[in-house]
Structure 1
Amino acid sequence: MKQIKLFLYCFLLTPLVCMAQESNFSKDIKDYLEHNGTMRQYEYAYDQLMIMMEGNYPKSEDNKQGWTYLEENRGKALEEMKSLMVPIYQENFTHEEIKQMGAFYKTEAGVLLITDRSKMTDIHKEELNTFYNSVVGQKIISKKEVLISEISKVSESWSRQLYETSLRLLQNG
């Protein structure tokens, strides 16, 4: 009987624990993408696409539903992009490394690196150098080409789908 309980515990509860850990890993990656400035780039890209589309398809009664959809689903589209990047980071970094990366971007030096580098003091620059000279920092540098390649693929796909959806919604009114 103990063996059956142990068997059930191992094969029924272990996947739940793994899924919870994976969920935390995914959440930490998404948090990192918010803090390291990545999502700001996609927010900007989305907004620029909307500006371009408005130049080509000004808001009117005919395309009102399309514009409403695009405006209301901005967050969903950005969340989708973030979710597309999660597996890339999971394949290239451990959960602990992602936590360390996220922690750096929450420091004053990390925030200034993203928001206004001109305000970085020598101390901030020293913190930045220390981070990039650490094991995790060196791994980020060594993975740069792989990350650029993989993120470019999902980014291009996301952008294309967003453009095609926008075009379809606004052309057909």
Structure 2
Amino acid sequence: MRDIVFALTLFLTSTACMSQRSYHQDAIRYFELNGTEQQYDTAIEQMFALLKEQYNSQNVPDKVWEELKGDKTAALANIKSLLVSAYRSNFSQEDIKQLIVFYESETGQQMVKDRTQLTDAQKTKLSDFFNSKVGQKVQNQSDSLRSMVAEVSELWSRDLYTETIQKLKSKGYQTP
């Protein structure tokens, strides 16, 4: 009996972990498709441009900047994980899967590239999407989600900036 309870507990735990991992993976894919990942990549590049300008008088070698930028992959993974939590409280895994299907479509890809260049047929598909259950949910949750994402983004960017400055200090460079 004890073995059965243990096996059942192990099965349920592993199933729950796989489900969470799967949600996480789906959300990460969604962030790649909808431009979120690119947005944060650009924010990191802008932060480094700002820091280079601030530390211009310190003559920080390019090698140091490249070393610091080497942490960009981890920083992107961190923000995406934080965003997964925000999305989890607003969207089910099935919702995320439907968002992925939309953003993998020609219409979704064009919307990310340049919304102003949507064809009439794509505009119709976009309208159909926003009239769907998930599209309605996106619109209805937008204020709540935007607020959560803004808070997460602010904390993440502040921490990344502070961490990068600390690394510069540890290398002997001081803020001007």
TM > 0.5: yes
CA separation in 2, counterparts of 1:7 and 1:137? 42
Q: Indicate the larger mover: 115-124 or 104-113.
A: 115-124
Unaligned runs of 5+ in 2: none
Structure 1 equivalent of residue 122 of structure 2: 124
The CA deviation at 1:8 is 2.4
1:90 to 56, 63, 88: 88
CA separation in 2, counterparts of 1:82 and 1:98? 14
Structure 2 equivalent of residue 40 of structure 1: 38
Identity of aligned residues (%): 32
Structure 1 equivalent of residue 76 of structure 2: 78
Question: Match of 1:27, as an amino acid?
Answer: Q
Matches within 5 A, 1:19-58: 19-58=17-56
Runs (4+) of structure 1 exceeding 6 A deviation are: none
The CA deviation at 1:167 is 2.1
Structure 1 equivalent of residue 12 of structure 2: 14
TM-score where L is the length of structure 1:
0.90
RMSD of aligned Cα (Å): 1.9
Question: Match of 1:58, as an amino acid?
Answer: N
Q: Residue 96 of structure 2 aligns to a residue in which SS?
A: helix
Q: Residue 89 of structure 2 aligns to a residue in which SS?
A: helix
CA separation in 1, counterparts of 2:67 and 2:48? 12
Unaligned runs of 5+ in 1: none
The CA deviation at 1:11 is 0.9
TM-score where L is the length of structure 2:
0.89
C-alpha change, 1:130 and 1:124, in structure 2 (3 Å) is same
Structure 1 equivalent of residue 162 of structure 2: 164
CA separation in 1, counterparts of 2:9 and 2:151? 36
Q: Residue 39 of structure 1 aligns to a residue in which SS?
A: helix
The CA deviation at 1:63 is 5.9
The CA deviation at 1:166 is 2.1
Aligned residues: 171
Structure 2 equivalent of residue 144 of structure 1: 142
1:88-110: CA deviation from partner (whole Å, max 9, x where unpaired): 11111111110001110010100
Q: Residue 93 of structure 1 aligns to a residue in which SS?
A: coil
